[in-house]
Structure 1
């Protein structure tokens, strides 16, 4: 699927650029609302669009795109970054270390209707990407599965539950409602759940953010007492 950016507000400043023509060039900066995107480990991210949905319906003049990764470096030329001519970004083979903020600046030109002046517009969009595995042992298993590993595993668990239930239902001594399945909630080390920070993915095991850690299979990312952890997915402080 495709992840679209959100836009919140704008700040406009102007400066004169020509004495003969008396034309003006406006620099318009849009502050952005970060869009959370959750990517399953070892898979490719959805397409991140350097544009909001409303702007995509308009004709864009002379667009230029600049993508910056969590480390502050330009993503152009990076082997794991697939950049299209239309400014879309796909991150290949997503790993824990690739989590973080991805920012895109779109520059393009517009013609003011009233003054017919040429205006340069700069718009900024931000995506927060988090890796999302689903259970201990996924490293070995998922690399051998050519399709969606999580869906395949959940299907196998459901199939096993149904077979066990059928077995007990055939036993003459089994009483009604004797068989039940208890869900055990856990995340692998370095991951946790947070229904406040990640409201649109409350049940997901999301990589612990910098400054937090998870040493075991609990679902909580603990806050480090000393701010030494600056990476995603820390298992200890």
Structure 2
């Protein structure tokens, strides 16, 4: 008698994590604005955002006279420093312990003076900078399973493949033991090579989904569902629900 062993394991695919790779980001972790172009970035749940600078790199390299900064949050109200929002006097902003409701558009208006050398005439100049911040679902501790690896996705996939090999070897050893060490009256057991399968599954946690059109620079990321959309289960995309006005919705009222 021949017993075939056919099993399936699940390989969870940890999608892209991190901030947008942007030429406006410095080695110190500062992320500068781009006049006329929203800067998109992606922050892990319960982590701090990068430091957003209310200025572009070209302006930062020049003298700025009497600058003032006005930050406006996703609720279209002026932001002030609190336990979640840290704003410095030089116009730098950082969001602490990022959560789904904190996603959205962060806008800063830089006002400064210019002086004409000939007439000493002063003029106030204003420049707006937009930052679109989205959260992805990886919470504290998830990288701990990767032994501080830089690329947790590769490490996780490697570990699962290693587990697959060990499980396959277990069944192969069991077949050998049954055939050689037990009473010959027992039915024969054979392990069929390549019958052990791993199925790759692509999914996002509830409240998150993928959208290559909206997040082309992070197409494989599981990004928080925006207003007007929701995701009730471990699907790949957010569904439409026009009555939703929040980020990260898991149901449609």
State how far apart, in whole Å, the 1-side matches of 2:119 and 2:218 are.
47
Aligned: 1:200 with 2:209 = no
State how 1:66-215 maps to structure 2 within 5 Å: 66-113=70-117, 115-134=119-138, 138=139, 142=142, 155-165=155-165, 168=168, 171=172, 175=193, 181-215=198-232
Bigger Rg over Cα = 2
Q: What's the offset of the Cα at 1:182?
A: 3.1
Q: What's the offset of the Cα at 1:121?
A: 0.8
* Structure 2 spans left out of the alignment, 5+ residues: 1-28, 174-190
Indicate which of 12, 27, 33 corresponds to 1:5.
33
- Looking at secondary structure, tell me which structure has more strand per residue: 1
Q: What's the offset of the Cα at 1:174?
A: 6.1
Which moves more between the two structures, 86-95 or 166-175?
Answer: 166-175
State how far apart, in whole Å, the 1-side matches of 2:107 and 2:192 are.
59
State how far apart, in whole Å, the 2-side matches of 1:118 and 1:102 are.
29
* Residue aligned with 2:101, SS: helix
Q: Is contact 1:142–1:149 with CA below 8 Å preserved after alignment?
A: no
State how far apart, in whole Å, the 2-side matches of 1:112 and 1:142 are.
55
* Residue aligned with 2:128, SS: strand
Who is 1:10 aligned against?
none
Length-normalised TM-score, structure 1: 0.75
Indicate which of 221, 231, 235 corresponds to 2:246.
231
Which moves more between the two structures, 70-79 or 123-132?
Answer: 70-79
1:179-228 Cα deviation digits (max 9, x unpaired): 6643211011111000110011111111111011111111111112xx32
Q: Is contact 1:63–1:106 with CA below 8 Å preserved after alignment?
A: yes
Residues 229 and 167 from structure 1, CA distance in 2 versus in 1: closer, same or farther, beyond 3 angstroms?
closer
What is the RMSD computed on CA atoms of the aligned residues? Answer: 2.9
State how far apart, in whole Å, the 1-side matches of 2:160 and 2:195 are.
17
Q: What's the offset of the Cα at 1:178?
A: 5.8
Aligned: 1:51 with 2:66 = no
